[in-house]
Structure 1
Amino acid sequence: MTPTRPATAFAVATLGIAVFASMDALMKGLTLEIGAYNTMLWRSLAGALIAAVPHFLRRPGWPDRSTLRLHFQRGLVATAMAILFFWGLARVPMAQAVALTFIAPLIALFLAAWLLHERIDRSAIVASGVAFAGVLVILAGQSRAELGHDAFLGAIAILVSAVCYAYNIILMRRQALVADGREVAFYQNVTVAIFLMLAAPMLAVVPDARHAPGLLGAAALATISLFLLTWAYGRAEASYLAPVEYTAFVWASLLGYLVFGEHVGPLTVIGAALIAGGCFIAARRRPVPMGNLEGAS
């Protein structure tokens, strides 16, 4: 693998998060109309078709058993994570939903030390601490709003999804070291579709044709985001890149306002500034050498 500057990997991961946030906006609209399960099912099927083109054009071989097991493991985690997140997203504002997911990088920071044997330096902890302070400020502002019982249940679903996403970050790092972005994007969509199809006889409904552009657009954005994030996580440590997840809040706030008319209060702006500060600290620190991955699979 050609050496890549850590700052470049950080920038690519940031772009991947921006693309993913755009997909979230499309998915929220679709979930409100056809439900979380059907939105995920048809997006995954469309995503598998889209991702198959760049994957098979290079005539890949069949993944070895350990890599295939890793693809299915991440697919299972991603299925639970996505269903919970999009179900919750349909019930709370985008900015609040994304803010709640910010516990994931904090958990991932320490999972990386445990599962990937990465060393956690002081600046990484400071960066996550500053960003998490921003999250607390945001939640303090959101707590003043009367969002109702459904929003409370949605928030709980998103928090559980965030725990899944923390483990997903670790799997992304392991996956990126054994497979390129095209392979990861293809198998991610295929495995999620397989797991969702298990419930298809009871839950699947063919969507109206007017939903096709949104589903295809969401699938394309998800595939592009997966490719960008896989590329970045293959070139920098998970503990170094984890704080980049906080930039999602800026995009969620902007898209929530433009697409759904969701307003962002002063405390939310202050929180976003803290989040950006944490990411700046993370981007400037010197990453430690990649840890020994023996025994991580």
Structure 2
Amino acid sequence: MSAVTGTPAATGKSPLRGVALYGVALLLFACLDTTTKYLTAHYPVPLVAWTRYAVQFLLMTAILAPRMGRELVSPARPAPVALRSLCLAATSLFVGLALHRLPVAEASAIVFISPLLVVLLAGPLLGERLTPLRAMLAVLGFTGVLLIARPTGNLDALGVVFALLGALSNTGYQLMSRTLSAEKPLTLLFNSALVGTLIFGGLLPFFWGGEGLTLTYVLLFLSLGLTAGVGHFFLTLGFRYAPASLISPVTYLQLLWAGLLGWVVFHHVPDALTLVGMAVIAAAGVATVVTGGRRQPPGVSSPTPRTMGRR
């Protein structure tokens, strides 16, 4: 799941195209998580994360650097952009560790609590108004997490902890993204790829290992950066063609993609209470988007899940 902020204003001319592009982006992000889960069963998580960022970094450098030059790597606010990138790298690490221990759908659903955490924290940290309704929806979302991670649910406890840490670091990523809305999306994306490559590259001497490489594994490793990069590109295009108010509720379609891919690839079907928990999180998130911004002060936008997305 990945995010771009400061996207161009929607033209409003092709809203259906925007929704379709966004839906494809969410499918690619679910494919990214599914591939990550498969690879972390055979290789260390930091190695998998490094490959994902390194491939994206090389692709962006080859395609965008000749056209954008220093603009690609030089944000207006380097320190906050670096902190945002660190939050994303931490999210990638924790989510990778969670996917190693949990099914794709359950791990994705727990991390999707992030937009609701943003709602709760945007008030004290960003000065945005928290209405009683949106606070209630955030609590409802946490109830969904409890249904998924209940003691009788047979989920790996450490995996649940990693998923919750991933949600927390992703919340930091989203909050930082809101403060950097004036930065160019491609500059933010490139800096995230650069920082992720450097951070996980520094860990490689301690986590190098795994099974011998085959052509299948090589292709899967390469697909990590490709699906992430193309997914972010389609996400950006989606917001160019359609307004955020129309697209943002579609974000929770990623939970459906995650469930379907988990079933197809790993033959995992969530139990009834887990499905209820996932539905509760999705419903609370969509309702948060729909009610967002109606009571916001002038000049303050509502924190929507359009910054959702990690990795």
State the TM bucket, normalised to the shorter chain.
Answer: 0.7 to 0.9
The equivalent residue for 1:259 is 265
The offset of 1:214, in angstroms, is 0.9
Alignment CA distance shift 1:111-1:230 (3 Å): farther
- 1:91 corresponds in structure 2 to 101
Q: C-alpha offsets along residues 28-56 of structure 1, whole Å, 9 cap, x if unaligned?
A: 11111112011111121111112224432
- Compute the displacement of 1:262 (Å): 0.9
State the match for 1:31 in structure 2: 40
Question: Does the CA contact (< 8 Å) of 1:131 and 1:246 recur in 2?
Answer: no
1:257 CA displacement? 0.9
CA 1:153 to 1:96, structure 2 compared with 1: closer, same or farther past 3 Å?
Answer: same
1: distance between equivalents of 2:77 and 2:24?
A: 26
How far the C-alpha of 1:166 sits from its partner, in A, is 0.8
Counterpart code for 1:38: L
The answer for the alignment partner of 2:152 in structure 1 is 144
Does the CA-based 8 Å contact 2:46-2:207 persist in structure 1? yes
SS of the residue 2:152 aligns to: coil
Q: CA deviation at 1:18?
A: 3.6
**Cα distance in 1 between the residues matched to 2:143 and 2:153:** 20
Query: Which stretch shifts more, 163-172 or 73-82?
Result: 73-82
In the other structure, the counterpart of 1:58 is 67
> Corresponding residue for 1:72?
82
Q: Answer whether contact 2:46 2:203 (CA < 8 A) is retained.
A: no
Cα distance, 1:3 vs. partner? 5.6
Query: Does residue 1:115 correspond to 2:120, yes or no?
Result: no
The amino acid that maps onto 2:271 is G
Q: Scaled by the length of structure 2, what TM-score is found?
A: 0.76
- Secondary structure of 1:33 counterpart: coil
Give 1:141-180 correspondences, 5 Å limit: 143-147=151-155, 151-180=156-185
Count of residue pairs the alignment pairs up? 282
Q: What is aligned with 1:222?
A: 228
CA contact under 8 A between 1:244 and 1:279: conserved in structure 2?
no
Q: Which amino acid aligns with 1:55?
A: L
Q: Give the letter for the 2:144 counterpart.
A: G
Instruction: Structure 2: give runs of 5+ residues left out of the alignment.
Output: 1-7, 302-311
**d(CA) in 1 for partners of 2:284, 2:86:** 31
Match among 106, 113, 116 for residue 103 of structure 1: 113
> Unpaired runs of 5+ in structure 1?
293-297
Q: Output the aligned Cα RMSD.
A: 3.4
Task: Give yes or no for the alignment of 1:201 onto 2:205.
Answer: yes
Query: How high is the TM-score relative to the length of structure 1?
Result: 0.79
Cα 1:166/1:13, change in 2 over 3 Å = farther
Comparing 256-265 and 53-62, the one that deviates more = 53-62
**Matching residue of 2:52:** 43
Q: Is the 8 A contact 1:28 1:86 kept in 2?
A: yes
